[in-house]
Amino acid sequence: MKELGLTFEVIIPDVDEVHWDDNPVGTVEENAKRKCNCISQKHPDMIVIAADTVVVFDGKCLGKPKIIEEAREMLRLFSGNTQTVYSGIAIARPQHSLDLYLEKSEVHFREISATVINHYFSLVDPLDKAGGYDIDQHCDLIISGYNGSLTNIMGLPKEIVEKILCK
């Protein structure tokens, strides 16, 4: 948002999020709508942007690991493979209906040894990241490349926000 020159305030919505393993697109769209509606009802004169992101691997939605061993297992599974990152973005503007967008990116992982995983976790906290990694922190250790929006993989696709708000 700062890169786009936008002034903004972060407000954490109080909503129950869904997690449907077999429907990642529905998961991110529903959660983005819930977050956006929660905040826009309290602030009807504001433009509200809400997003939700999931990592999908082997047909399953993955969230943030709860313990370090779960994060290790995620990176072991990702080793040498590709995963998909979906983000749902909901935007509410005064006197407009809610707009809903979907962004999809792919992340390609290097072959990752246990030693590399341990080193990576000494540099990055995996428990605060969907999939147990952060593409903008030491990603060269574990990621070989990506297709699609980098900012989507980070959690908020800048391209969509720019298209809607910076016309």
Domain contains 128:
yes
Q: Does residue 166 carry a pLDDT above 80?
A: no
Contacts of 75 (CB under 8 A, 6+ apart): 109, 112, 117, 120, 126, 132, 133, 142
Run of H or E including 37? helix 24-42
CATH number for the domain harbouring residue 80:
3.90.950.10
Residue 15 resides in a domain: no
Question: What is the average pLDDT across 131-160?
Answer: 92
Please check whether residue 9 lies inside any domain of the structure.
no
Per residue in 35-45, pLDDT tens?
A: 999 999 999 99
Which is the catalytic residue, given 14, 21, 22, 52? 52
Q: Which residue has the higher pLDDT, 7 or 56?
A: 56
Domain that holds residue 134: 24-160
Give the pLDDT band of residue 26 (cuts 50, 70, 90): very high
The average pLDDT across 135-163 equals 91
Predicted model pTM: 0.87
Name the token pair of 161. Answer: 């926000």
Taking residue 8's Cβ as centre, other Cβ atoms within 10 Å add up to 12
Under a CB-based contact definition with an 8 Å cutoff, are residues 161 and 104 in contact?
Answer: no
Q: Are 55 and 130 in contact (CB under 8 A)?
A: yes
Asked if residue 12 belongs to a domain, the reply is no
Which tens digit of pLDDT belongs to each residue from 51-103? 998 899 998 888 789 999 999 999 999 999 999 999 999 999 998 889 999 99
Residue 130 covered by a domain: yes
Q: Does a structural domain hold residue 167?
A: no
Is residue 140 annotated as a catalytic residue, yes or no?
Answer: no
**E strand or H helix that includes residue 162:** helix 158-165
Residue 63 lies inside a defined structural domain of this protein: yes
pLDDT of residue 167: 57
Average pLDDT of every residue of the chain: 91
Q: What total number of domains does the chain contain?
A: 1
In a domain, 124, yes or no: yes
